[in-house]
Structure 1
Amino acid sequence: MKASYDSSPRSEQVDLGPLADLPGFWEGTGFSLIARPQFSGSDNGFFLQLNLLRETIEFTAIGAPVMNRGSRQADIAMGGVTYLHRVTDAATGAGLHIEPGTWLNVPPTQEPAASGSIARLATIPHGNSICLVGGSEIAELPPTIPPANTVPFKIGGEAPPAGTKNPFPEYDLGRSTRFRTAPLPAGITQDLIDDPNSALREALKNQEPIQITRLITTSSPGGVVNIPFIVSNANTVTVESVFAIERVRTCSGATVLQLQYSQTALLSFGGLSFPHVTVGTLVKAF
């Protein structure tokens, strides 16, 4: 369905709401953990790929309201920003990920009855499209960042509680395996594998947060659509993400805008759901 934009001189002002600080160019570093299927020769049917990341995200405000026409209520006008997320391997410079997408600020509605919300739409070249829906919150200071689970679990089951020991040797740096990234990039530790969100906490250690707005979205409601090959071989069933727009004071006394994110996509194959966790810390450069 083609979007409708009202660009007339009298169109109402675009309301970006909690997305207002996103437009601009952000750059920084991150970490990615993914158990990818290994068709033959592996001990447990997967290879654990670990990457330190260099990444940029460029957000551009849509210059007019995005109109959604109503049949059971009056039309709504959404504010939006498009973005392009580029990710390369910090050690080799090789391209790892590119993601065009859109963030939307959705006003309250009567049909359905809902308070204001946000949505993130994206396409990934592997053959996935995602629609994540959620809301925003102002975080209490100092912020609490919960652990990110990396332990696989049965398809349809619940993610194990924090601190659960991973039963697979691929996740244990103290055990030798051919089915884990080697040589291991300097900076990847056991703590990082057990809880990728530890990188976000570490980045905040020498900073003083002034204000944090969290954009919290999930594919339920929303959805994930995959090409048939992915459905058959490593079905991406859910995606959850938190993007935190942070105004922080650095150790030098400067105040900067920072973007931290944590995203978990569940890949289902071999009877298990494998968390694919990506985290990053980026600074607004322009």
Structure 2
Amino acid sequence: MTTVDAPTDPLSHPAHVPLGDPTTALLQPAQIGPLHGVPRQSGYRAVPRQRTVSDELGPLQDLPGIWEGPGFSLIARPDFDADNPDGFFLQLNLLRETIEFTSIGSPVFNRGSLQSDIAMFGVTYLHRVTDAITGEALHIEPGLWLTIPPTTQPESGPSIARLATVPHGNAACAFGHAEDEEMPGLPTIPPVNTVPFPVGSPVPPPGTINPFAAYDLGQESPFRTSPVPPNITQAVLDDPNTLLRAALRGLQIQHITRLITNTPPTGGVANIPFITANADNPTLNSVFAIQSIVGPGGREYQQLQYAQTALLNFRGLSWPHVTVGTLVKAF
């Protein structure tokens, strides 16, 4: 049996490991070389046990798994058509969604210069969306959720972050916090705005009249999805959160963890030049609510409801792209 001399590379196999004998090789301790100031160690590299990782995830600890369910998307997208005086097409889609979350098994260290280092924990995710009627692929989004410990520079309590990438050419870093609530009844879900408004102006208050015919289902419009998807009423178009409230009727919710993130005043969205010029996306705001539910027969399960708004700026207006979903943890 052939042997080799001691290697000069500290990350190579240890000396005198027989080649071609995987059983013997597996019995050798891993040799960990210097890496970013971490001293060399002998023995196997270890990660925290899963229970420790779950505890460190804090408000994210119930995310790992596969979530599936229906959703709805409303987007006013630019329409480069000389016959379209308003310059947009209102696209309405019923969705079929899957989000797979996977724990990151080790801490993620951020090195401090104004304070001591911090260790973050998190999950990766992959969000897949298809049209519920046609089966057409609509969206795929790989990303991360992170939980961040309290810091002194900057001064902050515990926080969370969502990092999302979108194949149109956008990458968002949204920052926020988590809220826990024991539920004696159903939660209050406020309305979400779908009315376009001048860039830089405040979001219109609930009940604001939409000036564009495409948003009025009582009027015919060639610049709107036709036929309108089933069960999409004027009430849903005016406030897509109507669907979230409807999905909660008759349910008994025990507990909710809300993950609330926004791009302003921290974080931001980066776009490819084409997006910036044609439909700039400056913000992404979202609420993901992890709900512990007692269903029929006392069966307990988890549900994830979310609502998010991404603004698209073109023709001097901010056009809300609103997406909502109600997903159940399947695995």
TM range, smaller chain: over 0.9
* One of 236, 240, 264 as aligned partner of 1:196: 240
Cα distance between partner residues in 2 of 1:136 and 1:116: 9
More helix by share: 2
Tell me which residue corresponds to 1:212: 256
Deviation at 1:252, TM superposition (A): 4.2
1:71 matched to 2:116? The reply is: no
CA contact (8 A) 1:206 1:251 kept: no
Percent of pairs identical after alignment? 62
Q: How many residues align?
A: 282
**Structure with max Cα Rg:** 2
Q: Residues of 2 paired with 1:190 and 1:233: CA distance?
A: 28
Q: How far apart are residue 276 of structure 1 and its match?
A: 0.3
Conserved? CA contact 1:26–1:282, under 8 Å: yes
**CA distance, structure 2, for counterparts of residue 144 and residue 188 of structure 1:** 21
Greater relative contact order structure (CA < 8 Å, 6+ sep): 1
Native 8 Å contact 2:47 2:105 kept in 1: no
Aligned-residue Cα RMSD (Å) equals 1.5
**Over residues 12-45 of structure 1, what are the superposed CA-to-partner deviations in whole Å (9 max), with x where a residue is unaligned?**
9431010000000000000000000011121311
Residue of structure 1 in register with 2:229 after alignment? 185
Which of 257, 267, 270 is the aligned partner of 2:312?
267
- How far 1:10 moved relative to its partner? 7.2
Q: Identify which range, 134-143 or 166-175, moves more after superposition.
A: 134-143
TM-score after normalising by structure 2: 0.83
- Aligned-residue offset at 1:55: 0.3
In the alignment, structure 1 residue 99 sits paired with structure 2 residue 141: yes
1:216 alignment partner AA:
I
Partner residue of 2:25?
A: none
Q: Is the Cα contact below 8 Å between 2:150 and 2:156 reproduced in 1?
A: yes
* Secondary structure of 1:121 counterpart: strand
For residue 54 of structure 1, the aligned residue among 96, 117, 131 is: 96
Deviation at 1:72, TM superposition (A): 1.3
Indicate whether 1:114 and 2:156 are aligned: yes
3-state SS of the aligned residue for 1:177? coil
Equivalent positions of 1:74-85 (< 5 A) are 74-85=116-127
Change in CA separation of 1:231 and 1:205 when aligned onto 2, cut-off 3 Å:
same
Take 1:265 and 1:139, find their aligned partners in 2: how far apart are those partners? 26
Deviation by residue 1:159-189 (Cα, 9 ceiling, x = unmatched): 1101111111100000001000012111111
Q: CA contact under 8 A between 1:152 and 1:274: conserved in structure 2? A: yes
**Alignment map for 1:131-146 (pairs within 5 Å):** 131-139=173-181, 141=183, 142-146=186-190
**Is the partner of 1:191 in helix, strand or coil?**
helix
Aligned counterparts of 2:114 and 2:201: Cα–Cα separation in 1: 38
Contact 1:53 1:87 in 2 (8 A): yes
Counterpart amino acid of 1:9?
A
Amino acid at match of 1:21: D
In structure 1, how many angstroms separate the alpha carbons of the residues matched to 2:256 and 2:138? 29
Describe the shift of the 1:10–1:191 C-alpha distance in structure 2 as closer, same or farther (beyond 3 A): closer
Per residue, is there more strand in 1 or in 2? 1
8 Å contact 1:264–1:278 — kept in the other structure?
yes
Pairing partner for 1:34 from 56, 60, 75? 75
CA–CA distance in 1 between the matches of 2:238 and 2:166? 26
In structure 1, the residue corresponding to 2:200 is in which secondary structure? coil
For residues 95-139 of structure 1, the C-alpha deviation after alignment (integer angstroms, 9 at most, x for no partner) is 000000000000001111110100000110000000000000013
CA contact (8 A) 2:240 2:324 kept: yes
Distance 1:140 1:269 in 2: 42
1:125 partner amino acid:
P
